[in-house]
Amino acid sequence: MSVAINFRRAEYLISAQTFAQCPSEEGAEVAFAGRSNAGKSSAINRLTDNGKLARTSKTPGRTQLLNFFSLGTATLRLVDLPGYGYAKVPLAKKNEWQRHLSEYLQKRKSLMGLVLLMDIRHPLRDFDMMMLSWAAEMGMPVHILLTKSDKLKRGAAKTSLLEVRKYLTTENLTDLVSVQLFSASNGDGVSELEGVMRDWLLPAQDGSSGGEVEPYPDLPPNLPEED
């Protein structure tokens, strides 16, 4: 029997620095990924109607751990992945984060989909396109949130949305990747995001995703540098 998802019942579960520290793979989860200034934590807080659930920071790049949140039950989870970008840390530390992130994305069998956040004013940066290419190679569903849509006038936001859709069509990604406008400030797009996540999580909760999976391809050895 399916377990209904109440995003307002989300609770912090655990933080993991390495793949080995991640919780049991029982059930299903959706991961949120994006550049450090894309607004991941704000989007999670708006989705769950809990302004303090995911840590937000004035300094992009502070989220260095894989943060797991339960969605009413420990077998349904949301994962806040480390943001890539501006953290002022040694290169060796950045490479360590990248290695752990890559291992999670390659090996986590309970991962049902990836929510990829992009600032609507600066979509499709190198990191974004690398993640889309990798997800396509491994057959992982992706839902793009064009965040901070309230920062643009309606016409400009629509233009950005159409440009991203055009890119997805050109790259033959429309069967795997969807996209929407989103604003954590005013809540625009929350219902659409909830629907996508339910479509990913509930079939898996019914047991349709079990069994062995083929190894996922490695991420590129070096993530692109930020501007």
Domain assignment present for 224: no
Rounded CA Rg of the chain: 16
Tracing tokens 């793979």 back to the chain, one arrives at 25
Q: Using CB atoms within 10 Å of the CB of residue 88, give its burial: 0 to 12 exposed, 13 to 18 middle, 19+ buried.
A: exposed
pLDDT at 188 over 70: yes
State how far the Cα of 194 lies from the Cα of 199, in Å rounded to an integer.
9
Q: Once rounded to an integer, what is the mean pLDDT over residues 149-153? A: 98
Domain assignment present for 225: no
Mean pLDDT across the chain = 87
Most confident of 30-44, 145-159, 212-226: 145-159
Domain assignment present for 37: yes
Question: Which pLDDT value is given to residue 213?
Answer: 42
Tracing tokens 């993640």 back to the chain, one arrives at 131
The 10s digit of each residue's pLDDT in 165-184 is 999 999 999 999 999 999 99
pLDDT at 64 over 90: no
Evaluate whether 77 touches 68 at the Cβ level (below 8 Å).
yes
Widest Cα–Cα separation across the chain: 48
CATH of the domain at 28: 3.40.50.300
Domain assignment present for 213: no
35: containing domain: 7-205
Dihedral (Cα; 219, 221, 226, 227), 10-degree rounding: -120
3-state helix, strand, coil in the chain (%, to 5): 35, 20, 45
Domain assignment present for 1: no
pLDDT at 22 over 80: yes
Residues recorded for the chain: 227
Q: What is the DSSP letter of 4?
A: P
Domain assignment present for 58: yes
Q: Using CB atoms within 10 Å of the CB of residue 13, give its burial: 0 to 12 exposed, 13 to 18 middle, 19+ buried.
A: middle
Domain assignment present for 2: no
State how far the Cα of 145 lies from the Cα of 115, in Å rounded to an integer.
7
Q: Using CB atoms within 10 Å of the CB of residue 59, give its burial: 0 to 12 exposed, 13 to 18 middle, 19+ buried.
A: exposed
φ, ψ for residue 178, nearest 5 deg: -120, 165
φ, ψ for residue 31, nearest 5 deg: -105, 145
Which one has a higher pLDDT value, 63 or 154?
A: 154
Structural domains of the chain, count: 1
Question: pTM of this prediction?
Answer: 0.87
Question: Which pLDDT value is given to residue 221?
Answer: 53
Which one has a higher pLDDT value, 173 or 55?
A: 173
Question: Which pLDDT value is given to residue 87?
Answer: 56
φ, ψ for residue 5, nearest 5 deg: -100, 120
Evaluate whether 38 touches 118 at the Cβ level (below 8 Å).
yes
Instruction: Categorize the per-residue pLDDT at 1 as very low, low, confident or very high, splitting at 50, 70 and 90.
Output: very low
Domain assignment present for 219: no
Nearest by Cα to 33 from 144, 100, 117, 103: 117
Q: Once rounded to an integer, what is the mean pLDDT over residues 67-86? A: 89
pLDDT at 132 over 60: yes
The 10s digit of each residue's pLDDT in 77-109 is 999 998 876 556 677 777 787 888 889 999 999
Q: What is the DSSP letter of 59?
A: S
Token pair of 164, please? 């991203």
Question: Which pLDDT value is given to residue 211?
Answer: 39
